Amino acid sequence: MRIEAIHATPGYSGFFFDDQRAIKEGAVQDGFTYDGDPVTEGFDEIRQAGETLIVDVELADGSVHRGDCAAVQYSGAGGRDPLFRAAEYAPVVEGPVAEELVGRDASDFLANADLLEDGEFDGDRLHTAIRYGVSQALLAAAAHDTGTTRTDVLADELGTEPATEPVPVFGQSGDDRYVNTEKMFVKGVPVLPHGLINSVEKIGEDGETLLEYVEWLAERSQALGPDDYDPRFHIDVYGMIGEIFGAPYDREEVVDYFRALEDAAAPYPIQIEGPMDVGDRKGQIQAMVELREGLADAGVGVDIVADEWCNTLEDVRTFVDRGAADVVQIKTPDLGGIHRSGQAVRYCEGTDTRAYLGGTCNETETSARACAHVALATDAAQVLAKPGMGFDEGYMIVENEMRRTVARRNREQRPTNADEVAADD
């Protein structure tokens, strides 16, 4: 079916844009905002309202299919594309992007998405947020045109066998790391709580505050969780372990701290995201490899998760090839087209690196649902609950989308009476 038109409307995303560099450099929180001046190009304030560009793809039958352009909370940091301004990019989507796509067959999802991924517009690649949002709408349009689920469209294009049950969801607590985590325990969330440990105050001068928090996680999870609850703890420290200990990362002091984290989490597994941020991809990989080798030599069973400087599909491949992480976050808005996230998950197959299909709190319910289909199509190790920092809403959106899709696929694949008779014959 022919694509007839593409429309773009600026809107709000599920959280905020934050100037990560300014926060790391000591910006003081004032209520929900921060005092001080931004330091990352494009920011007017250290914290400012998140934006999305709502994309509608209209087909020849009059149906309209949506995707939301979104960028991560910490835009402009860690090698990512600059701050995304929706109103600035609306003319790009309704202009050159629409000119490329209108008239094309909606069922050709991968070809349509790759057209935007590989092309140049006015001499530059499209912002990752545009590629992300438009590809979501193209995926929804392809599923409508073929009469199937978005999971099936992706699985067919990527050559995968979809998951037969929901992928484990990773809940993020935001700064309300106790109350929101208790909510996760009650609901039996399999991977949690993120923790948002992005300052020395939150980790402790010697890391002691984080250790106390992990001890609390292990104890409280069993007090509140369902019977036979077996959580996996995942803490994002935003490079703060590197800030308080420094290199080299395979030395005894650092390894002993990770052993203490393992002991505090026992008997449950723990993984630490972004243990350091050295400022460039090459250095980050070297530091991550050094840490992993130090932990392995000492028999410390804490898994390391790559985030900063692991943004594009090429970055994911490089981190995996170098053995720089036990888990690699595939930060969906940073990869551009949503199919690229699926390709990144697939690249982890057969390696020692597990694929975490992540993203950001600063997305929308539309992009979160689209990512749930990527998770199912590729059977990722875990998928982020998003958007927002309230936990419940994002968990509901992602978990329910996967459950609905699995149930629909099971119904459609269940043999009919005629099929059963033919099989008996």
- Which pLDDT tens digit goes with each residue over 325-342? 999 999 999 999 999 999
Q: Is the pLDDT of residue 83 over 70?
A: yes
pLDDT value at residue 79: 73
Q: What angle do helix axes 128-146 and 150-158 make, rounded to 10 degrees?
A: 110
Q: What is the pLDDT of residue 417?
A: 44
Q: Which residues of 310-327 are buried (b: 16+ CB within 10 A; e: fewer)?
A: bbbbebbbbbbeeebbbb
d(CA 326, CA 323): 8
Identify the weakest region by mean pLDDT among 110-124, 313-327, 348-362: 110-124
Residue with tokens 């990770």: 258
Which residue, among 269, 286, 275, has the nearest Cα to 381 in the 3D structure? 269
Contact yes or no for 346/373 (Cβ under 8 A): no
Beta-carbon count within 10 A of 99 CB: 11
User: What per-residue confidence (pLDDT) applies to 422?
Assistant: 46
Confirm whether pTM is higher than 0.85.
yes
Instruction: Give the integer Cα–Cα distance in Å for 92 and 64.
Output: 19
Beta pairing, strands 191-194 & 382-384:
unpaired
Evaluate if residue 418 carries a pLDDT over 80.
no
202 is an active site residue: no
Whole-number Å distance between alpha carbons of 330 and 340: 9
Task: Catalytic residue, from 24, 183, 187, 331: name it.
Answer: 331
Distance between CA atoms of residues 173 and 220, nearest Å: 15
Tokens 């009469």: give the residue: 147
DSSP element (H, E) containing 316: helix 313-322
Average pLDDT for 377-395 = 97
Partners of residue 117 on adjacent β-strands: none
Tell me how many helices (H) and strands (E) the chain has: 18, 13
Q: Is 421 exposed, middle or buried (0-12, 13-18, 19+ CB in 10 A)?
A: exposed
Rounded percentage of the chain residues whose pLDDT exceeds 70: 97
pLDDT in tens, 4-58: 999 999 999 999 999 988 987 889 889 999 999 999 999 999 999 999 999 999 9
3-state secondary structure of 384: strand
- pLDDT of 188 > 70? The answer is yes
Query: Is it the case that residue 414 has pLDDT exceeding 70?
Result: no
What whole-number percentage of the chain has pLDDT above 90?
Answer: 90
Q: Copy the structure tokens of residue 349.
A: 């197959």
The strand pairing partners of 55, in sequence order, are: 8, 67
E-strand stretches of 187-308: 191-194, 232-236, 270-273, 303-306
